[in-house]
């Protein structure tokens, strides 16, 4: 199959976003409808981990409908969700998308993403000298603790009641579920690392996710609805 041109890829991804844009605009325009309660007019941007697709969708919306350039859109989303990490492919799309919408040149360049990607490769190579690298640990943590497993463990421990008092029990239960997986033991042997090498990173992954859920619940219950019809709540799953 021939490789798609940049223009074709831009058109395809832009079309994929149109559905999301339509939904967002419908919610915003419906805020003036008296039948809408305050909480029902909020918008949740989410993907598997809230790091790439949800962030890209929001940045694209801000560029097209809120008069942001890519740099200012990225800075805003990064401020509200520091762990976003769009891939080079996605950032290339946003650079082209910004030019398509605003004209001129993009306010960000691929150097912002090529350099970190190279550092990631270098760090991965360094594990042969200094043991398993931090990047490799984080990749394993996301692989071993995907969103569905985190949700399952939370449901088993606290039935969706995300609060500080349940966090320690949630983390212990989550780690026990991982340790019971014999396939992961085999993976550790193949990649030459031990449980002690990855345990802290797994704990941080589980803790960060649970903390995000606590904050989201607090936001939903305590944040007043904005009076501005074109404001958007920046929430990520």
- What is the per-residue pLDDT across 221-237, written as a single tens digit (0 to 9) for each? 665 544 444 444 444 43
The domain ranges of the chain are 6-112, 132-221
- What is the per-residue pLDDT across 132-141, written as a single tens digit (0 to 9) for each? 677 777 778 8
Q: 56 Cβ partners below 8 Å, 6+ apart?
A: 86, 90, 93, 94
Indicate the fold that domain 6-112 takes in CATH.
3.90.190
Q: How far apart are CA 13 and CA 31, in angstroms?
A: 28
Q: How far apart are CA 178 and CA 35, in angstroms?
A: 46
CA angle 122, 85, 113 (to 5 degrees): 55
Q: How far apart are CA 60 and CA 51, in angstroms?
A: 15
pTM greater than 0.75? no
The mean per-residue pLDDT over the stretch 165-176 comes to: 90
The mean per-residue pLDDT over the stretch 171-200 comes to: 80
């Amino acid at each position: 199959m021939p490789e798609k041109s940049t223009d074709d890829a831009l058109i395809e991804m832009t079309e994929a976003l149109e559905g999301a844009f339509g939904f967002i605009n419908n919610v915003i325009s419906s805020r003036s409808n008296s039948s809408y309660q305050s909480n029902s007019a909020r918008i949740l941007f989410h993907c598997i981990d809230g790091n790439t697709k949800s962030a890209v969708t929001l940045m694209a919306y801000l560029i097209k409908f809120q008069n942001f350039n890519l740099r200012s859109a990225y800075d805003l989303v990064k401020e509200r969700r520091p762990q976003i990490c769009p891939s080079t492919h996605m950032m290339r799309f946003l650079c082209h998308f910004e030019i398509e919408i605003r004209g001129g040149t993009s306010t960000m360049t691929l150097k912002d993403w090529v350099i970190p990607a190279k550092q990631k490769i270098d760090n991965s190579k360094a594990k042969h000298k200094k043991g398993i690298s931090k990047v490799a640990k984080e990749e394993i943590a996301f692989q071993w603790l995907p969103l569905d497993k985190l949700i399952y463990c939370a449901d088993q421990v606290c039935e969706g009641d995300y609060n500080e008092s349940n966090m320690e029990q949630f983390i212990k239960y989550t780690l026990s579920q991982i340790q019971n997986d014999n396939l992961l033991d085999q993976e550790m042997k193949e990649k030459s690392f031990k449980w002690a090498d990855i345990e802290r990173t797994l704990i941080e992954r589980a803790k960060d996710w649970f903390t995000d859920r606590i904050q989201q619940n607090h936001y939903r219950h305590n944040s007043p609805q904005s009076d501005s019809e074109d404001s958007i709540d920046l929430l990520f799953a």
